[in-house]
Amino acid sequence: MDKKELIRRALKAKKNAYVPYSGFHVGAAILTEDNEVYDGCNIEIASYSPTICAERTAIFKAVSEGHLKVKAIAIVGDANHTYPCGVCRQVIREFGKDATVIIANSEEDYREYDLDELLPHSFGPEDLKSADKEEKNV
């Protein structure tokens, strides 16, 4: 699947956003390592804390189907080049440390990043494993 198709899927998902409070629509589409595509939109809840972003919706859909590795994610929103929030960056990190992150307004207007550019010096599963080894050596 090419970048433009992934962006098209994100744009389509954006239309399903449930945003009665902010009115800010976001769509995301991810490509897994086995070339499956999952999309998602943001879903707001009146009490806000259970609200979920489009990126996490798409990733959690994939993970719930057994796809644990994200190769690429396209994100579109109502703002000019909508970037993922910090929580979403951490979730992308968990399942797509080497993922390409595509921030798009349209199929022709997009920016591409490595996750390390958006979340430098990140913390991930391997850090927990190294901490376990260090603790056992004490």
- The span from the first CA to the last CA of the chain, in angstroms, equals 48
Q: Which residues have a catalytic role annotated?
A: 55
Angle, helix 3-14 to helix 54-64, in steps of 10 degrees: 110
Strand order in the sheet with 70-77: 37-41, 26-32, 70-77, 100-104, 110-114
